[in-house]
Amino acid sequence: MIRVEMLSTGDEVLHGQIIDTNAAWLADTLFQQGLPMTSRATVGDSLPALVEALTERSRIADVLIVNGGLGPTSDDLSAQAAANACGVALELQPAWLEKIEAFFASRGRPMAASNRKQAEIPAGSELIDNPVGTACGFAVTLNDCWIFFTPGVPSEFKVMVEQQILPRLKTRFALPEPPLCLRLTTFGRGESDLAAELEPLPLPEGVVMGYRSSAPIIEIKLTGPAAQRVAMEQIWQQVRLQLAECTLFEGTQGLPALLAQQLNTRQLTLTVSEQFSAGLLQWQLSSGGVACRAGEVLPEGEETLSQLAQRAQERAKAQQASLALLVGSLRDKQLGFALHTPDGTYGQQVKFNNQRHTVKTRQELVAMMAMNMLRRWLHGMDVSTGHGWVDVVETLKA
């Protein structure tokens, strides 16, 4: 098995001032290529610490991908650390320096002297092209470990991994077939409740059932070797049946994208009006490709469920939309939803009992409940269930 590791650099990453999205992306990308990451670490902007980390990990890993520290400023130390660890000097790459100068000239800006540093890599290393930025990457071999150095800018990092690093790995190593990962996302049930129901299922050898909680949803994953595909798909059918009532979608598409697909297929148009969710619902729908007609955000006020349903009917008519989805105000722990459709108007009043939820968490929950209400109607299901821990105190159909 090839041992692939990642080393993220930078004080801002080490101290939690930014989220290391590059690490999550790389882990998923490598997994899909049949190269699951075996370890990852973070080190700050300290030259001795960087040299120590490179030396230590190179004695363990077959491949090490180092991310960050290739910029023009004094705290960008990855190239110097690599040179020190390998016992060589930095060398200027004239062709890359010309590329940096041309980059700035094309934008009508002079190149700062500090950018020259981005064209210096350890002597004897292999330059790795960066087609979208000024910092070149490079690769060295230390203690039989192939180490790739990449910039921290996500757009540059991803292009270099996909276009430069992965092709090199495929050339040198006989990569195994990627593992199979079956996923579905649930809403309305707790993680321990789901686990209690699924864990009695007998799993094939090497197959693992996993749970990822990210309020207000929980993702279920069945992961295993591709050789176990038939057995895994048989187990997955049982998972589907047991979780049918609370399943939002399968795969990684996301609920907004699924709704966009279904609305387009059925040639249905949608308008949205929000109070408590403050625009979050429409933002999520739009991010998934749903073309909402003239959405609005209103100040919170007092409104009965019947009045909310009446407003949904009026809004659909005013916007000439097939559907109108409304989120009301939060009053005394209660909030109303209304969905106007071609076959009638549905309303539900729910009550929140969890006092630990922040406003942000509750808004995310409300947006998901509204989208789930729409999803359930599109699938011909009862729109006023499927909320799990949230109590429905009143419903209507007009």
Quick: pLDDT tens for 160-190. 999 999 999 999 998 878 889 999 999 988 8
pLDDT of residue 62: 96
**Dist. CA 2–CA 110, nearest whole Å:** 45
Q: Beta strand 180-187 with 217-224: parallel, antiparallel or unpaired? A: antiparallel
pLDDT of residue 355: 66
**Dist. CA 132–CA 353, nearest whole Å:** 50
pLDDT of residue 386: 62
The mean pLDDT value for 337-362 works out to 89
Domain range list for the chain: 4-172, 180-250, 255-397
Residue 360: partners with Cβ closer than 8 Å, 6 or more residues away: none
pLDDT of residue 372: 95
pLDDT reading at 69 higher than 80: yes
CATH homologous superfamily for 4-172? MoaB/Mog-like domain (3.40.980.10)
Q: What is the pLDDT of residues 98-117, one digit of tens each?
A: 999 998 888 888 888 888 99
pLDDT of residue 36: 86
Q: What mean pLDDT is reported for the chain? A: 93
Residue 322: partners with Cβ closer than 8 Å, 6 or more residues away: 268, 269, 270, 316, 341, 342
Q: Which helix (H) or strand (E) holds 336?
A: strand 334-341
Position 265 confidence tier, pLDDT thresholds 50, 70, 90:
very high
Which residue's entry shows tokens 């009532």?
245
User: At what angle are helices 47-58 and 78-86 packed, to 10 degrees?
Assistant: 50
Residue type, 373: M
Q: What pTM was computed for the model? A: 0.74
Asked, colleague to colleague, whether 4-172 and 180-250 share their fold, the answer is no
CATH 3.20.20.70 fits 180-250, yes or no: no
Residue 324's nearest CA partner among 338, 304, 343 is 338
Q: What is the pLDDT of residues 133-154, one digit of tens each?
A: 889 999 999 999 999 999 999 9
Computed on alpha carbons and rounded to an integer, the radius of gyration of the chain in Å comes to 26
Position 352 confidence tier, pLDDT thresholds 50, 70, 90:
confident
Q: Mind giving me the DSSP string for 99-123?
A: HHHHHHHTTT-PPPGGGGGGGEEET
Q: Beta strand 270-274 with 323-331: parallel, antiparallel or unpaired? A: parallel
pLDDT of residue 397: 93
Torsion of CA 107, 109, 111, 114, to 10 degrees: -110
Which residue's entry shows tokens 């059932």?
209
Residue type, 56: E
Q: What is the pLDDT of residues 292-345, one digit of tens each?
A: 988 999 998 899 999 999 999 999 999 999 999 999 999 988 999 999 999 999
Position 215 confidence tier, pLDDT thresholds 50, 70, 90:
confident
Range list of β-strands (E), 13-150: 39-43, 63-67, 90-92, 120-122, 126-128, 137-142, 145-150
pLDDT reading at 357 higher than 80: no
> Which two structure tokens, joined as six digits, stand for 375?
């999803």
Distances (CA, A) of 210 to 178, 219, 262, 327, 374: 18, 8, 29, 33, 28
CATH 3.90.950.20 fits 255-397, yes or no: yes
Q: 332 or 48, which is more confident?
A: 48
pLDDT of residue 353: 76
pLDDT reading at 119 higher than 70: yes
The total of other beta-carbon atoms located within 10 Å of residue 132's CB is: 14
Taking each continuous run of H as one helix and of E as one strand, the counts in the chain are: 13, 18
pLDDT of residue 189: 87
Position 32 confidence tier, pLDDT thresholds 50, 70, 90:
confident
The mean pLDDT value for 350-368 works out to 86
